[in-house]
Amino acid sequence: MDYKRYIAERIPVEGVSANEICDLLAVPPDPSMGDYAFPCFRFAKILRKSPVAIAEELKAKIPADEVISEVSAVNGYLNFKVSKVGLAEGTLSRILKEGANYGSSDLGAGKTICLDYSSVNIAKPFHIGHLSTTVLGGALYRIFKYLGYNAVGINHLGDYGTQFGKLISAYRRWGNRELVEQGGIRALNELYVRFHREAEEDPALDDEARAYFKRIEEGDAECNELFEWFKRLTLKDVQKIYDLLDIHFDSYAGESFYSDKMQSVIDELREKGLLVESRGAQIVDLEAYGMPPCIILKSDGSSLYATRDMAAAIYRKKTYDFDKCLYVVAYQQNLHFRQFFKVLELMGKEWAKDLVHVAYGMVSLEEGAMSTRKGNVVFLEDVINKCIEKAYRIIDEKNPSLENKEKVAEQVGVGAVIFGALYNNKIKDITFSYDKVLNFEGETSVYVQYTCARAASVLSRAEVPASYEVPQPCDEEAELLKALAEFPDTVRSAAEKYEPSYIARYCVDVAQKFNKFYFDCKILQAEEGVRGFRLALTAATLQVLRNALSLLGIGVPEKM
């Protein structure tokens, strides 16, 4: 049940609706003060009474009942305690009944949300700079699905541009079939890095690359065949990582997919009189909006990123009729998104307001920024493998007899990588360090998984009885119950704010509360009349943590 709502309906303040009161209800800093608090300060002026007096008067008007067990007036706050037995019964029965669906809803029924994330570049290996978009997008995708939305995951492949001319040039000069077949994407990357190194000495290489790219565009069979091969290799390589991270897409329509869909955008811009010539290029002037112009066509007549993105947005609207379209892309591209969103708005697309740039902070190394061209990158595959290895070593040491250690080590190691990327607000920059990712203590996924393993271990020794008494919960139990009851709200606000970190932090909060409970209260040896309840509480905790972690793409081993 909704306690806030229940309480709000019983607070009689003249001229203030239950809805407004509900919004004002807060949670006191210390549970001993109460479960909910109503601050009376802002009514002092209207009612011409002191907040303390208002609280006292309201208190007199609210009788305790089977839900509200106590009302008190303290320093202008009206504090409420709710019946813990009621809280326990309601929360536990709901979680155990709904199971894997606890926290889900039909909030988004009938609505479609497109999510553009990960967007790998062909022939470039996945490095830790791609982790955020992939893992954030993947989590949001699952969260929205969980809330009943029709989510469309789009991997907007970076498969268009002169860099592919460079790649073909490098391959022709220094590569061969065997080399690339054996070395895969890393071999391609080395060719690419070498091209840049040599092009610094010999600028003629750049001309050659441009010529090759032109041939791709013109449909030259040989060049396109090579390019398709590079594309296949990249997707195959990256799929390994997507499998580990539990990432899925419904569409792989990338930049090249839109190469024949840009002309109509250009025509429309021209028709609407938005396109003007400037310094030889075709632009949309955005000075009135405090932005530099959005370049639509270069002076040589070729298209740009913004043009393709607009074509893609229009295509997506037409194809999916989305209610929202999210772009999970680093904040460096902030201006670019503001520009092309504005141009679409100027074109009269009323749905331009539904385009959202979900910006996140950048990842750098302790030595500074990463650069694929210069070759100083940390490959995601290496990071994941190191984490899995470390997990394996620890399992081997702590629990040598564990079955399927490899599988468990994978869940633990991969979980650490995902969790590390999702634990903080997405906008914050991250300095990557192995020490941080490989830390398995404290506020980490490993701590949460360990908590699950403890709960699962208890439950493997005793089942939750079909019916059980609910005693007056102690503080540790009550705190845990309150946290469990919050899960549906947490999922909703994570979706609203596009912040999977809310869920990650929630997991740690629940785990901490469970561990406190676990330490202070015996479960299996509890006296009759308490044991069933504690088993149910344990089962409910495990269920909620499973649900929460699965939204992040993290698995829960039974034992570890």
Indicate the residue among 225 and 277 with the shorter CB distance to RNA: 277
Angle between helices 445-461 and 405-422 (to 10 degrees): 130
Phi, psi angle pair for 17, to nearest 5°: -75, 160
The two beta strands, 77-82 and 68-74, are antiparallel
CA–CA separation, 353 and 85 (whole Å)? 46
Tell me how far, at minimum, the Cβ of 399 lies from RNA, in Å: 5
Q: Is 406 exposed, middle or buried (0-12, 13-18, 19+ CB in 10 A)?
A: exposed
Tell me how far, at minimum, the Cβ of 452 lies from RNA, in Å: 9
Tell me how far, at minimum, the Cβ of 450 lies from RNA, in Å: 3
Indicate the residue among 181 and 228 with the shorter CB distance to RNA: 228
CA–CA separation, 280 and 283 (whole Å)? 9
Q: Is the dihedral of CA 145, 151, 157, 158 positive or negative?
A: negative
Cβ neighbors of 254 (< 8 A, separation 6 or more) are 119, 155, 156, 157, 158, 159, 160
Indicate the residue among 180 and 494 with the shorter CB distance to RNA: 494
Residues in the chain: 560
Tell me how far, at minimum, the Cβ of 153 lies from RNA, in Å: 19
The two beta strands, 112-116 and 77-82, are unpaired
Indicate the residue among 150 and 415 with the shorter CB distance to RNA: 415
CA–CA separation, 83 and 478 (whole Å)? 10
Indicate the residue among 148 and 161 with the shorter CB distance to RNA: 161
Indicate the residue among 200 and 520 with the shorter CB distance to RNA: 520
Angle between helices 204-217 and 162-174 (to 10 degrees): 110
Tell me how far, at minimum, the Cβ of 342 lies from RNA, in Å: 13
Indicate the residue among 153 and 158 with the shorter CB distance to RNA: 158
* Structure tokens given for 428: 């914050």
**Can you tell me which residue has the tokens 């271990």?**
457
Tell me how far, at minimum, the Cβ of 200 lies from RNA, in Å: 17
Tell me how far, at minimum, the Cβ of 179 lies from RNA, in Å: 26
Indicate the residue among 319 and 425 with the shorter CB distance to RNA: 425
Please calculate the CA angle 289-292-295 and round it to the nearest 5 degrees.
115
The two beta strands, 294-297 and 281-284, are antiparallel
Tell me how far, at minimum, the Cβ of 181 lies from RNA, in Å: 27
Indicate the residue among 150 and 513 with the shorter CB distance to RNA: 513
Cβ neighbors of 466 (< 8 A, separation 6 or more) are none
Tell me how far, at minimum, the Cβ of 35 lies from RNA, in Å: 10
